[in-house]
């Protein structure tokens, strides 16, 4: 029996899906339900189901990021979306990330059955999972697309918040994956570590601020996320080959 998790913020939808669909006839069993994305993610990580039927527009949750996270972390998971959100570009992005079906509410029962049969057929066709295999090595995965999507989201968030005391955990929470998984994705897709990218973002911001001669070096250090000016100066010299003061002097000679 394939295990199924249902996620929707409307209790009547969850109850209807659980009762109206003849899951056992299709070799499936509903093993859990959740009423928001955060609960759904927790449940999926605990139960590791084969199939997810979910709404994609729920409070306090970026549905596309959630789908990308799940497809990257669990590439064998088959996902169908059941939503009232009618937007072609949004639906196309969801399908590109590996969603099997994008169904609009109210959905007909035969559309649900077709989606479930398609997902079980895909699962039937998969080779047995290989222990410790990389997600993108799995033939079922849209892992590369999902991984790229997650990394772009992570880099955008880092760029917007790089001047803050930002941790890998902060960014991982934003894109709904574990720190370990995000670190792997960034290294794979950006060929740099999280800390190297964050340091470079901060240095680029620092270089722009150094053009303002009214700002002291320690003020710039604080504005780009360094509590310690000595650490900032050391990091700047490592990346730029000169101290912040020397860089500023060079600007004055141009």
What CATH number does the domain containing 249 carry?
1.10.10.60
Task: Tell me the residue range of the domain where 46 lies.
Answer: 2-130
176-to-53, 96, 188, 232 alpha-carbon distances in Å: 18, 18, 18, 30
Regarding whether 211 and 177 lie in a shared domain, the answer is no
Report the distance separating Cα 7 and Cα 12, nearest Å: 12
Contacts of 239-243 spanning 24+ positions with Cβ under 8 A: 239/199, 239/200, 239/203, 240/203, 240/207
What pLDDT, on a 0 to 100 scale, did the predictor assign at position 140? 40
Supply the pTM of this predicted model.
0.82
pLDDT at residue number 252: 64
Neighbouring C-alpha atoms within 13 Å toward the C-beta of 168: 16
Is 124 inside any structural domain?
A: yes
Residues of the chain with pLDDT under 50: 135-141
Domain boundary among 97, 130, 163: 130
Q: What is the pLDDT of residue 131?
A: 57
Q: Domain check: are 31 and 102 in the same one? A: yes
For residues 108 and 180, membership in a common domain is answered with: no
> Is the same domain home to 107 and 66?
yes
Element (H, E) at 78: strand 78-83
What pLDDT sits at residue 7?
Answer: 93
pLDDT at position 143: 64
Answer yes or no: do 93 and 165 share one domain: no
Does residue 18 sit in the same domain as residue 114? Answer: yes
Domain-terminating residue out of 171, 195, 219: 195
Residues 93 and 212 in one domain: no
Q: CA–CA separation, 10 vs 37, rounded Å?
A: 12
Domains of the chain: total: 3
Whether residues 58 and 162 share a domain: the answer is no
Cα distances (Å, whole numbers) of residue 99 to 30, 70, 95, 125: 19, 10, 5, 17
> Which pLDDT score is estimated for 182?
95
Mark which of 92, 108, 130 sits at the end of a domain. Answer: 130
231 CB-contact burial (10 Å; exposed 0-12 / middle 13-18 / buried 19+): exposed
């Amino acid at each position: 029996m394939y295990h199924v998790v249902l996620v929707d913020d409307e209790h009547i939808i969850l109850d209807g899906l659980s009762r109206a669909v003849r899951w056992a006839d299709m070799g499936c069993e509903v093993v859990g339900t959740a009423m928001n994305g955060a609960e759904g993610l927790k449940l999926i990580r605990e139960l590791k189901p084969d199939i997810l039927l979910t709404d994609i527009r729920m409070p306090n949750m970026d549905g596309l990021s959630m789908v990308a996270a799940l497809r990257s972390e669990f590439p064998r998971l088959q996902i169908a979306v059941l939503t009232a959100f009618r937007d072609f570009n949004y639906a196309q992005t969801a399908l590109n990330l590996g969603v099997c079906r994008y169904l609009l509410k109210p959905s007909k029962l035969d559309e649900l059955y077709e989606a479930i049969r398609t997902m079980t057929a895909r699962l039937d066709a998969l080779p047995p999972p290989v222990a410790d295999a990389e997600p993108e090595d799995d033939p079922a995965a849209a892992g590369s697309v999902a991984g790229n999507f997650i990394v772009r989201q992570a880099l955008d968030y880092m760029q917007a918040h790089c001047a803050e005391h930002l941790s890998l955990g902060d960014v991982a929470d934003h894109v709904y994956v574990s720190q370990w998984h995000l670190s792997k994705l960034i290294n794979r897709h950006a060929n740099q570590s999280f800390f190297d990218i964050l340091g470079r973002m901060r240095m680029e911001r620092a270089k722009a601020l150094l053009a303002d001669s009214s700002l002291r070096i320690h003020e710039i250090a604080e504005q780009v996320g360094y509590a310690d000016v000595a650490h900032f100066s050391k990091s700047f010299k490592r990346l730029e080959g000169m101290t912040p003061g020397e860089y500023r002097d060079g600007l004055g000679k141009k």
